[in-house]
Amino acid sequence: MQKNLVIVESPAKAKTIEKFLGKDYRVMSSYGHIRDLSTKELGIDVAHDFKPQYVVPEEKKKLVAELKKASQDAREVLLASDEDREGEAIAWHLSEALELSPDRTQRIVFHEITKPAILHALDTPRGIDINLVNAQQARRVLDRIVGFELSPVLWRKVKPALSAGRVQSVAVRLIVEREREIARFVSEASFRVVASFLLPDGKTLLKAELNRRLKDRDEAEAFLRACQRPEAAFTIEDTTKRPVKKTPAPPFTTSTLQQEAARKLGFSVAQTMMVAQRLYESGFITYMRTDSFNLSDMALTASRQAITEEYGERYHRLRHYHTKSKGAQEAHEAIRPTNMQAPTISAGAQEMKLYDLIYKRTLACQMADAELERTTVSIGIGGLTDKFVAVGEVIKFDGFLRVYRESTDDEPDTPEQETKLLPTVNVGDRLTAREIIATERFTQRPPRYTEAGLVHRMEELGIGRPSTYAPTIQTIQNREYVVRGDKPGEERKFCVLTLADGQIAEEVKRETVGADRNKLLPTDVGTVVNDFLTESFPEVIDYHFTANVEKEFDAIAEGTMEWTEAMDRFYKFFHPIVEKTLAMRTDHRAGERQLGTDPKSGQPVSVKIGRYGPVAQIGQPDPDNKSAAKPRFASLMKTQSIETITLEEALELFKLPRVIGEYEGKEMVAATGRFGPFVRFDGLFVSIPKPLEPTSITPDEAIALIEEKRTKESQRHIKTFAEEPGLEILNGRYGAYIAFEGSNYRLPKDVVPADLTLEDCRRIIAEAADKPKRRVPRRRSNG
DNA sequence: CAGTGAGCGAGCTTCCGCTTGACTT
C-alpha cells in the first residue's frame, strides 16, 4: 500500500513524528536546506531580475535523490518544514528539486512536536506561501551580494582571504567599539561611607551606608570630623517595611541558554550548542535553536503536575510567555525538557549539568513569585542632614527561588548588594558608632564582551539567528578579527579614611582592577577592517541595517512589496559604492600609519596589515628605480598594535635577527618567528622563555638554553635500528612513539619502549595501517 | 616548526541560515 511521505527538517524530529503518525506515513528529513546559491561565483543574475542560480550541493545529491524516489512512490507528499521564512523556502526548494506535482503535494505546519499539534496540522493543510518564500530569497540574495562584493574589496585593500558580511561585520564592530570606549574611559573617584553601629543592647551590630557619595578626600575627612563632634548623635529616625516580589525568568531560548550556561557552567557558546544537540538527539529536550518563549499546553500541564507534587499547589503559577516580535512565526517552542517528570537524566557529565539547568529554569518559570520583605532603616546624624541607611531583605515565601535563580554578568563587587536580615530596632534608639569608614571608589569602565554577552547584544539588535550565533562567533575568531584572551588588570591606589575610637586614620591601599579572563578582544586586522568598512560602507555596517532590511522582508512576506524591486533598490545604492571604493588609489593600504623617519637611513617608517599580519616597514618601493634599496620589513610582536606602536618600538623590531655571540666557533642568532622568540645555533632552534627578550638575551643565557635543549634532545632518542635507519623510537610530549616515514605511531600501553625489537615495531606499524586511513579534514571556518 | 613582504605572470579566498555527518587527535 502506498504511504504518505512527510518531510521535516531534522532527523530527530522525523523519528518522533513517525511514532505519532503510524504506519500510513513515512517520515523523512531534508537535513535543512537542500539547495543554495552556487558558491563558485556570485550565483545571481543581477541583470535579469536577480534570478538566483540554485544548485544542490555535492554532499546533498544522494539525499535529494532518495527524497525524490520516496516522493514518487508516495501517495501524497506533506512538506512539514518550519513555519518561518527559511522553513517555507525549504518546502519550496523541495517541491522544485523533487519536481513534486501540486495536486499530490501539501504544506503543513506545527509549532510543537506533540500528537495533537501534528494531527491538527494534518487536518489543516495549505499551499506554499510564495510571498514568504520570496522574502527568504530576498534575504539570501542580499546576504550574498553584501558578502561576495565586500569581501573582495578587503582582499584588495587589506589582506587576502578576509571576509565581510551583514552579520559578522557588525559583530566585529561591537567588539572594536567597546575596546575604544574602554580606552577612552576615565574613571571618576568618590568616597563611599559605611558605618558600623552598636545597638542599645551593647552587643548587636548594624551596618549602614551613607545615603550619598562624597566627592573627594577633603569632603570625606570633613564628614568624619563632623561625625566626631559630641553633638553628632546617631538616632534611628525611621524604619519601613515593604513587600517586594521577584518574578522568575522566562524559559530558555538559544541565546539565554548560551548566556546562563556560560555564567553558571563556564561553557563556551559552541560547547553549549554541542551538548544541547546531544540532549535533543537523545530525546531529553526540545529543539535547541529557537527564539521562542512558547511552551506547549502539554508542557504547562506537566510542569504544574511536577510542581504541585513536589512543592505543593501554592508554589505553582501558570504563566504564558510571548515572544517579543510580532509573534506570528513561532516555529518552535522554548527549550525545555520533553518530560517534566524527569528532574534528572543519566547521560554524560556535561549533558546532565545542562539538562539540570534547563529543567530548573523551565520548572521555575511556572512557579509562584518569591515574596520578600525589604526593611529600610534610616539613621539620622545630629546636626547634619545626611543619613545612614541600612537595607535588609527577608524571604517570606521563596516561590520559584526554591529551584532557580538567574545569574547576572555583573561581578559582585560592592558588598552593598548583599542583603540580609536586619536586627530589630525602634525609632528613637540611640546608636554608638564603632567605626565609620570612607573608602575611595571608582566608576567602572564598560565591560569587555564574553562570547555569550556578544550573542546577547546581537540578539537585541536583531542580528543573526539562533542557528548562526555560535558559527558567527567562530568565524570572526577564525578570520582573526577577534581573539578570546586575557588582559592583566592595573594596580590602583585608593584612600581609606577610618574613624574609630575618636581618631581618624588614613591609609593608602592598593587593588588590581580591570583584569579580564576569556574575553573577546579585537586584533589589529579586526580593527583595520572595521574602520575601513565603517568609513566606506557606513550604511551596511550600521547597527540598524538588519532591522531596516527586515522591515522590507516583512513587506515582501505580506505581499506588499516585490522582492526583486527591493533588491534593485539596494543594488543600485550599494554596487556603485563598491566600484568607487575599488577604484580608489591602491598604493595606500587601509589602516596604514606613518610613524616618522628612521634616523639611520632617513627613510620613512610605517606600519600596516601585511600579507601575514601587522608589519613595520622602513622605506618605500620605487617603481621607477629597480636598483633602489628595497623596503625592509619586520613583523609586529603579538603584544603590539599598529594603532599604538611608537617609532622607537618599531625601530626596535629591526634589531632582529641579531647576533648574540659565538659558541663553539659558531654564531648564535636571536629572532622572533611564528612561534615566538628563538635562538638559532648550528641548525638548532631554541625557544626563548618568558622573562628573557631576544633583543637583550646575553651569550651566557643563550648557551644555557642551547645546552638544556641538547640534553632534552639526547633523551628524545630511545632506540634506533641499524637495519632500518628511517625507523626510530622517540620520546615525545605524550610519551614514547615510533617515527617511520613521516608518520608517528602510538605504542600499546603495556610495552617497555626500550625493549621493543624491530619486528615489534613493524607489527605495530602494520596494525595501525590496517585501520581506516586517517583523513585530515581541512576544517572550513563557516559553512 | 622558526619565512615570509613591493609587482609583467596562476588561481584562490568570501556571505547567512537551515541541518547533521563520520573522522581522529
A656 beta carbon < 7 A from strand B?
no
> Smallest CA–C1' separation from A771: which nucleotide?
B24
Report the distance separating Cα A567 and Cα A45, nearest Å. 12
**Considering only CA atoms, which residue is closest to the C1' of nucleotide B7?**
A623
Residues A227 and A231: their CA atoms lie apart, in Å, by 8
Of residues A771 and A200, the one with the higher pLDDT is: A200
Does A560 score more than 70 pLDDT?
yes
Q: Which pLDDT score, from 0 to 100, does residue A733 have?
A: 65
- The secondary structure element, H or E, covering residue A554 is helix A545-557
Q: How confident is the model at residue A325 (pLDDT cuts 50, 70, 90)?
A: low
Q: Provide the pLDDT for residue A737.
A: 78
3-class secondary-structure state, position A701: helix
Distance A464 CA to B10 C1' (A): 37
By DSSP bridging, strand A387-397 and strand A205-210 are antiparallel
Spatial contact of A619 and A601, defined as CB atoms under 8 Å apart: yes
* Residue A337 per-residue DSSP state: B
Kindly report which amino acid residue has its CA closest to the C1' atom of nucleotide B23.
A775
Cβ of A361 less than 7 A from strand B: no
Q: Are A325 and A293 in contact (CB under 8 A)?
A: no
CA distances from A334 to A322, A326, A409, A633 (A): 10, 16, 22, 55
Q: Which residues of A are annotated as catalytic?
A: 287
Kindly report the backbone phi and psi dihedral angles of residue A9, in degrees, each rounded to the nearest multiple of 5, phi listed first.
Answer: -90, -30
Q: What is the pLDDT of residue A765?
A: 76
* Nucleotide lying nearest to A734, CA to C1' measure: B25
A653-689 per-position pLDDT tens digit: 888 888 888 898 888 888 887 777 888 888 888 888 8
Instruction: Give the separation between CA A592 and CA A604, rounded to whole angstroms.
Output: 12
Domains of chain A: 4-128 (3.40.50.140), 134-185+451-488+521-589 (1.10.460.10), 254-368 (1.10.290.10), 593-653 (no CATH), 658-717 (no CATH), 721-770 (no CATH)
pLDDT at position A775, please? 39
User: Which of the two residues, A732 and A125, has the higher pLDDT score?
Assistant: A125
Residue A730 pLDDT greater than 90, yes or no: no
State how far the Cα of A400 lies from the Cα of A368, in Å rounded to an integer. 6
Cα→Cα distances A470→A68, A258, A293, A463, A477, Å: 32, 9, 20, 13, 11
- How many Å apart are A128 CA and B18 C1'? 17
Nucleotide with C1' nearest the A59 CA: B21
A125 to A10, A89, A119: CA distances (angstroms) = 20, 17, 11
Q: What is the mean pLDDT of residues A718-739?
A: 76
C-alpha cell read off for A174? 561591537
Convert the pLDDT of each residue in A140-160 to its tens digit.
Answer: 999 999 999 999 999 999 999
Q: Which nucleotide is nearest to A90 (CA to C1')?
A: B18
CA of A635 to C1' of B5 (A): 10
Of A473 and A655, the one with more pLDDT:
A473
Protein CA A372 to sugar C1' B23 (Å): 55
Contact of A60 with A51, CB cutoff 8 Å: no
H/E segment holding residue A641: none
What are the cell numbers at A738?
A: 615510533
Alpha-carbon distance of A117 to A604, in angstroms, equals 72
Q: How far apart, in whole angstroms, are the C-alpha atoms of residue A10 and residue A594?
A: 54
Cβ atoms of residues A643 and A527 within 8 Å: yes
Task: Determine if strand B comes within 7 Å of the CB of A432.
Answer: no
Rounded to whole angstroms, the distance from the CA of residue A721 to the C1' of nucleotide B12 is: 45
Mean pLDDT of A522-548: 97
Burial (CB count within 10 angstroms: exposed 0-12, middle 13-18, buried 19+), residue A748: exposed
Separation CA A188–CA A210 (nearest Å): 19
Asked if residue A11 keeps its beta carbon closer than 7 A to nucleic acid strand B, the reply is: yes
Whether the CB of A673 is less than 7 Å away from nucleic strand B comes out as yes
- CA of A617: nearest nucleotide by C1' is B5
CA distance A700 to A498: 53
Q: What integer pLDDT is reported at residue A242 of this predicted model?
A: 97
Of the pLDDT bands very low, low, confident and very high (cuts 50, 70, 90), residue A303 is very high
- Please name the nucleotide lying closest to A169, CA to C1': B15
What would the pLDDT profile of A350-396 be if each residue is shown by its tens digit? 999 999 999 999 999 999 999 999 999 999 999 899 999 999 999 99
A609 Cα distance to chain centroid: 25
Radius of gyration of chain A, Cα coordinates, nearest whole angstrom: 34
Res A271 pLDDT > 50: yes
What gap in Å lies between CA A554 and CA A82, rounded to an integer?
17
pLDDT in tens, A220-231: 999 999 999 988
pLDDT in tens, A12-43: 999 999 999 989 999 999 999 999 999 999 99
- In the 43-102 segment of chain A, residues within 7 Å (Cβ) of strand B are 82, 84-86, 90
Confirm whether any atom of chain B, the nucleic acid strand, is less than 7 Å from CB of A112.
no
Long-range contacts of A657-663 (CB under 8 A, 24+ apart): A658/A694, A658/A695, A660/A697, A660/A698, A660/A699, A660/A702, A661/A699, A661/A702, A662/A699, A663/A699, A663/A702, A663/A703, A663/A706
Average pLDDT rounded to a whole number, residues A525-539: 96
Residue type, A329: Q
Q: CA of A618 and C1' of B20: distance in angstroms?
A: 51
Q: Give me chain A's average pLDDT, please.
A: 91
Cβ < 7 Å from strand B, A residues 584-613: 587, 589, 608, 610-613
Mean per-residue pLDDT for A620-643?
81
CA dist., res. A613 & res. A7, Å (int): 47
Dist CA A94 CA A86 (whole Å): 12
Q: Which residues in range 175-214 of chain A are in contact with strand B, contact meaning CB within 7 A of any of its atoms?
A: none
Please identify residues in chain A, positions 755-774, with a C-beta within 7 angstroms of any atom of strand B. Answer: 771-774
Does A494 contact strand B, using a CB cutoff of 7 Å?
Answer: no
pLDDT digits (tens, 9 = 90+) for A81-92: 999 999 999 999
Q: Which three cell numbers stand for residue A730?
A: 622517540
At A475 the three-state DSSP class reads helix
pLDDT value for A265: 97
Helix (H) or strand (E) holding A289: none
Per-residue pLDDT band at A626 (split at 50, 70, 90): low
pLDDT recorded at residue A773: 42
Judged by DSSP in three states, A628 sits in: coil
Determine the protein residue whose CA lies at the shortest distance from the C1' of B4.
A612
- Is there contact between A477 and strand B, defined as CB under 7 Å from any strand atom? no
Q: What is the 3-state secondary structure (H, E, C) of A207-274?
A: EEEECCCECCHHHHHHHHHHHHCCCCCEEEEEEEEEEEEECCCCCECHHHHHHHHHHHHCCCHHHHHH
Distance CA A629, CA A627 (A): 7
Residue numbers 139-158 of A with CB closer than 7 A to any atom of strand B: 139-140, 143-144, 146-148, 151-152, 155
* Contact, A464 CB vs strand B, < 7 Å: yes
Contact A190, A218 (CB under 8 A): no
How many angstroms separate the CA atoms of A616 and A609, rounded? 9
Residue A112 is predicted with a pLDDT of 85
Please report the pLDDT score of residue A414 as a whole number. 43
Interval A699-713: pLDDT, tens: 888 888 888 888 877
Phi-psi region for residue A225, left (φ > 0), alpha (ψ -120 to 50) or beta? alpha
Cβ of residue A694 near strand B, that is under 7 Å? no
**Phi-psi sector, A127: left (phi>0), alpha (psi -120 to 50), beta:** beta
CA A505 → C1' B3, Å? 62
How much is the pLDDT for A17?
Answer: 95
The identity of residue A170, as a single letter, is V
Which helix (H) or strand (E) covers residue A102, if one does?
none
Nucleic chain B: which protein residues 546-585 of A have CB below 7 A from it?
A: none
Which nucleotide lies at the shortest CA–C1' distance from A332? B18
Rounded Cα distance, A115 and A120, in Å: 8
Q: Tell me which DSSP letter residue A182 carries.
A: H
Within 7 A of a protein CB, which nucleotides of strand B? 1-7, 12-21, 23-25
Q: DSSP assignment, residue A29?
A: E
> What is the rounded CA–CA span in Å between residue A255 and residue A466?
7
Q: What is the DSSP string of A123-175?
A: HS-B---HHHHHHHHHHHHHHHHHHHHHHHHHHHHT-TT----TTHHHHHHHH
Q: Are A760 and A768 in contact (CB under 8 A)?
A: no
Residue A526 exposure: Cα atoms within 13 Å on the Cβ side:
27
- Residue count of chain A: 783
